[in-house]
Structure 1
Amino acid sequence: MNDLLQNPVFNALTTGDKQLSFGTAHVKYFDAEVSPYAGFPEDYEQGFAELHDLLPEGRRILFARPTPVAIPEGWQLQHEIKGLQFVYEGGKNITGDFSNIVPLTATHVDEMIELVKLTKPGPFDKRTIEFGSYHGIFQNGKLVAMTGQRLHVEQYTEISAVCTHPDHLGKGYASALMQHQLQIIVNSNQIPYLHVRADNDRAIAVYERLGFVVSRPMHFYFMKRL
C-alpha cells in the first residue's frame, strides 16, 4: 500500500483532501492559499499541458515526484529541492510532555505565517491550516514552534510544517510536537509519513529517533506558469 505514496499529491487530491481540490478527472490542484501543490497520474503525458490551460498566468505550483522531471514548455523552474520521504514504522514509545501544546486556529494564522517565513519548513499560506490538526507551543504569548498535517492519502497522513523559532532550538519542542501528532494520527488508525530536505540532517535525526524510516527520494519542483 506504500505505493500510494509514490504520487502523494495527486492521490491526496483524489482521496483524503478531495474537498479542497480543483481541476479535472486527470489533473488536480489546490487553491493557492491552501497549497501550491498540483498533480496528475504518473502516466498522464498531457498533465502539464492541461494544468497550463487550467491555471492563470503567473500561478506558482509545487510538483513532487520520486524521479527527476523535465521542466515542460510553458513553465519556468524557480526552485528545485531534493528531498526524502519517511514513513512511520512505530516501535517507539510516545512519551512527550504535551501539556504546553495548544490547538492553533484561524486567529493564529498571521503568527504561523511569520514563523514559517523565518524557519522555511515549506509552503504555508492563509488557508493551509485547513489541512487540519495544527498545534503549537507559545512562550510569553508568542508562537515559537508548531506542526500540523497536510496531504491525506487514504490511510496515510502527512505531518508537515514542523518548525521552531531559532531562539528556541534545543528545547525539545519539535520532538514533543512530532510525538503529539504521532499520537493523534495513530489513534485515528492512520499511518504517519512526512517529507524533508535531503540535507536537513538535524530534522532527519529527530525523525529517525521517533521511528520513521526512509521510504523513497522525492524531488520537489517550484514552477511558475508562463
Structure 2
Amino acid sequence: MLENPVWAALSGPQACFAEASGDAARYLPDVSPWCALADPADPAAWADLAGLTDQAALTAPVIRPPDGWATVAVIPGVQMVGHTMTGVRDPEVVPLTETDVPEMLDLVERAQPGPFGKRTVELGHYLGLRHEGRLVAMAGERFRLPGWTEVSAVCTDPDFRGQGFGARLTMAVAAGILEHGDLPFLHVAADNAAAIRLYERLGFQVGHDVVFASYRLLP
C-alpha cells in the first residue's frame, strides 16, 4: 500500500477527490496534480490514464512508461515512515482552513514546498505558525490511505528559517494523525540530506526509495 500511496488514497479514503477510469485515477485538478495507476507496470492502466489526462505526475518506487508517453522530469525521493513516533502538540500553532488559502498560496510561492493548489487544504488538517499576524510556516495532511496519513507541505518563509518551525509543525501534524488512529509518513527528495536527518531525529525511519515523475502523452 505504501509503495503506491496515491492509488491507495484515491481508490480508498480520498475517492471523493478522484477522477477515475479503470485502473487509473487522478485528483481533481484544483486539489492536487498527482495521478495514480493500480499497477505502474501495466500498459492497460496507462491507456486508462490517457483517457483522463495528457499530463501526469506519478510517484512509485519504479515507473517505466510505455511507448506513447514522454518523460518530462524525474526526481529521486525517499519515503519515510513513523512507526514509533509519538508526535507533540504545540500550543502556538493555529489551524488553517479555506479562509486562509490566499495566505497559504502566498507562503507556498515564497517557500516552494512542492505542489499546492486552491483546494489542497481540503485533503486534511493544516496547521500554521504566525509572526505578528503573518503566516510564516505551515504543514498539513495530504495523501490519506487506510492506516496511514502523509505529512506534507512542510514549509517556512525564507526570512524565518532556522528557528525550528518546520520541526514543530511536523510533530504537531503527526500528533493529530496519531490521535485519529493512523500512522504518519512523508516524502522527501533523496538529495535533501539535511531534511532526511531532521526527520530521522523527529522519529521517522527511511522506508524505501521512490521517484517523483511527470510524463506527457505524445500526440
Given the two structures, how large is their TM-score scaled by the length of structure 1? 0.89
Distance in 2, Cα, partners of 1:9 & 1:165: 28
Distance in 1, Cα, partners of 2:91 & 2:121: 22
Distance in 1, Cα, partners of 2:67 & 2:152: 28
Once the two structures are TM-superposed, the CA of residue 62 in structure 1 deviates from its matched residue by 1.1
Q: Which residue of 1 aligns with 2:13?
A: 16
Confirm or deny that 1:84 pairs with 2:81: no
Whether contact under 8 Å (2:25, 2:52) holds in the other structure is no
Structure 2 matches for 1:41-190, cutoff 5 A? 41-42=38-39, 43-55=41-53, 60-70=55-65, 72-73=67-68, 75-90=69-84, 94-95=87-88, 98-190=90-182
Whether contact under 8 Å (2:107, 2:157) holds in the other structure is yes
The one-letter code matched in structure 1 to 2:122 is: E
Whether contact under 8 Å (1:16, 1:151) holds in the other structure is no
Distance in 2, Cα, partners of 1:158 & 1:36: 16
Percent identity, aligned pairs only, is: 35
Whether contact under 8 Å (1:71, 1:77) holds in the other structure is no
RMSD (Å) for aligned C-alpha atoms? 1.7
Once the two structures are TM-superposed, the CA of residue 225 in structure 1 deviates from its matched residue by 4.1
The one-letter code matched in structure 1 to 2:92 is: N
Confirm or deny that 1:194 pairs with 2:189: no
Confirm or deny that 1:40 pairs with 2:37: yes
Structure 2: unaligned runs, 5 residues or longer: none
Given the two structures, how large is their TM-score scaled by the length of structure 2? 0.92
Deviation string, structure 1 residues 106-139 (Cα, Å, up to 9, x no partner): 1111211121122221110101111010110111
Deviation string, structure 1 residues 5-45 (Cα, Å, up to 9, x no partner): 01111111011211111112311111111111111122532
Distance in 2, Cα, partners of 1:46 & 1:175: 42
Once the two structures are TM-superposed, the CA of residue 68 in structure 1 deviates from its matched residue by 4.1
Structure 1: unaligned runs, 5 residues or longer: none
Once the two structures are TM-superposed, the CA of residue 72 in structure 1 deviates from its matched residue by 4.3
Deviation string, structure 1 residues 25-75 (Cα, Å, up to 9, x no partner): 3111111111111111225321222211222x5xx42111102424641x4
Whether contact under 8 Å (2:46, 2:66) holds in the other structure is no
Distance in 1, Cα, partners of 2:12 & 2:106: 30
Q: Secondary structure at the match of 1:118?
A: helix
Whether contact under 8 Å (1:67, 1:218) holds in the other structure is yes
Q: Secondary structure at the match of 2:194?
A: helix
